[in-house]
Amino acid sequence: MMIDVAVIGAGMAGLVCARQLSQAGYSVLVIEKSRGFGGRVATRRLYGTCADHGACYLKPKGVFMTQLTELLVERNILQVWNGTFIEKTENIVSSMQPRYISSSGMSSIAKFLAQGLEVILNHRVIEVNLNSDQQWQLTLESSNEQIIALALVIAIPAPQALMLLKPLEGNFLGSTFINKLGSVEFFPSISVMAGYSPTSKPLPQWRAITLENNTVLGWIGFDSTKRHNPSQPVFVVQSSADFATANLEIETEDLQSVGLQILHTAANVIGFDWLAVPDWIQLHRWRYAFPRTPLQQPFLAAETPQPLICCGDWCGGNQIEAAIHSGLSTASAINSQLQRFGELKESDFLENLN
Ligand SMILES: Cc1cc2nc3c(=O)[nH]c(=O)nc-3n(C[C@H](O)[C@H](O)[C@H](O)COP(=O)(O)OP(=O)(O)OC[C@H]3O[C@@H](n4cnc5c(N)ncnc54)[C@H](O)[C@@H]3O)c2cc1C
């Protein structure tokens, strides 16, 4: 398969980049290893409901992100998560700064952005190389199909991009580029999703608590308050980075007890014993949850004549907003290198969504 631009990763950065380029007129293919869109903007369907075990909400800061959020609210993809949020232990912050969620799960944002794009799901890119025609050639796991592209965007966490690109060091890629990619480290996190008896009492009056100095916990969210008419209380609890680091490699059969340990600690913190005794529990291990040492630039471009750009939240920040800016900046840079169309602007992206 021969295309103009191959984008590895259907997270926020990859999707907005692919969308902007394809709307300009390029042929674009997104390749994603998992079975859904969104990457760390993730929602799991379970026990007749859903839970956001990745990004919990969107809190726009800049003008562009505010406009995009308003558009997603108009389309009924996002709603305001009303209520009280507790940050820094005793400091109660009400919803003065709105947090936006999706009642059908945060991954709805990604599904919306992926509309009209050509995407191959369930296929991991295991090798990238330049072929004899000086085009990018991508090899997929469990598929004989080779993807050939004029330009390559790698919109995945830097350590995963490093694994793909390290073999090209000294060949097509210089050490400066590889060292910069290698300098980006990530914090891990373990997310616990837990459902409780509908008769559980008392229920918290808050929506979420952020914990800064707890050795086990990072965040407790009353996830079912995002849903319409929830049939039972559902919580999502994120571990601290230290706890995740210590428990990331444990055997699958021990995961359940790690999850219960997290819930037990959360029950102690909020003072509700029933939180330690869920009806059901599921865990997700995020090896690359939050960039620890993000780069202070919107993308990382290689000096190859054939465009190759890495992007994601680790370029410029650590949240959805940074990932989106990084993806859009990458689209502009790819377009400048391929020189086929006029300048691509963030405002074009919004206009094309309308
Ligand atoms: C637990 C948790 C809570 C968070 N809470 C918030 C929050 O409340 N608000 C907020 O704004 N942000 C939050 N974030 C951060 C936010 O989710 C990320 O900043 C953002 O989603 C990153 O997007 P991305 O496109 O850069 O990368 P990703 O979302 O990581 O996307 C990369 C994609 O590439 C795919 N991929 C990787 N390697 C390959 C390969 N070899 N071949 C094919 N596909 C591949 C992955 O499967 C993934 O889909 C949270 C993150 C976590 C983990």
CA distance 226 to 209: 15
> Strand 84-87 to strand 91-94: parallel, antiparallel, or no bridges (unpaired)?
antiparallel
Tokens linked to 107: 């991954």
Distance 315 CA to ligand 1 centre (A): 13
Instruction: Ligand 1, residue 317: give the atom nearest the CA.
Output: 19
| Amino acid present at 236 | V
Distance between Cα 41 and ligand 1 center (Å): 6
What is the whole-number distance in angstroms between the Cα of residue 157 and the centre of ligand 1? 8
Ligand 1, atom 53: closest residue by C-alpha: 289
196 with 232: CB under 8 angstroms?
yes
Coil, helix or strand at residue 89: coil
**pLDDT recorded at residue 249:** 94
Ligand 1: residues with CB < 6 A are 8-14, 31-34, 39-41, 54-58, 124-125, 155-157, 160, 189, 191, 238, 286, 289, 312-313, 318-320, 323
What gap in Å lies between CA 99 and CA 66, rounded to an integer? 11
- Mutating to test ligand 1, I would choose from 320, 324, 329, 330 the residue with most ligand atoms within 8 A of its C-beta, which is 320
Pairing of strands 217-221, 186-195: unpaired
Closest residue to atom 3 of ligand 1, CA basis: 55
User: How far, in Å, is the centroid of ligand 1 from the Cα of 268?
Assistant: 30
What per-residue confidence (pLDDT) applies to 93? 53
**Per-residue pLDDT tens digits of the chain, which is 354 residues long:** 899 999 999 999 999 999 999 999 999 999 999 999 999 999 999 999 999 999 999 999 999 999 999 999 999 999 999 999 998 655 555 546 799 999 999 999 999 999 999 999 999 999 999 999 999 999 999 888 899 999 999 999 999 999 999 999 999 999 999 999 999 999 999 999 999 999 999 999 999 999 988 999 999 999 999 999 999 999 999 999 999 999 999 998 899 999 999 999 999 999 999 999 999 999 999 999 999 999 999 999 999 989 999 999 999 988 999 999 999 999 999 999 999 999 999 999 999 987
Question: Which residue, by CA, sits nearest to atom 27 of ligand 1?
Answer: 11
Closest C-alpha to ligand 1, atom 4: 55
In the chain, what are the domains? 2-42+111-184+293-353 (3.50.50.60), 44-106+186-291 (3.90.660.10)
Rounded Cα distance between 341 and 11, Å, is 25
Contacts of 293 (CB under 8 A, 6+ apart): 183, 184, 185
pLDDT one-digit tens code per residue, 112-159 = 999 999 999 999 999 999 999 999 999 999 888 899 999 999 999 999
Q: Tokens in use for 142?
A: 């469990």
| Ligand 1, atom nearest to 42 Cα | 17
* Residue from 156, 211, 243 to probe ligand 1 pocket by mutation (most atoms less than 8 Å from CB): 156
* CA of residue 25 to ligand 1 center, whole Å: 26
d(CA 20, CA 22): 6
Distance from residue 203's CA to the centre of ligand 1 (Å): 31
313: CA distance to ligand 1 center in Å? 8
pTM for the model stands at 0.97
Q: How far is CA 246 from the centre of its chain?
A: 23
Q: Is the peptide bond before 291 cis (omega within 30 degrees of 0)?
A: no
Q: Alpha helix (H) ranges present in 115-157?
A: none
The predicted structure's pLDDT at residue 95: 46
CA distances from 262 to 47, 120, 208, 238, 286 (A): 21, 36, 16, 8, 15
For the packed helices 12-24 and 320-338, what is the interaxial angle rounded to 10 degrees?
30
Q: Which of 31, 33, 3 is nearest to 15 (CA)?
A: 31
Atom of ligand 1 nearest to the CA of 238: 1
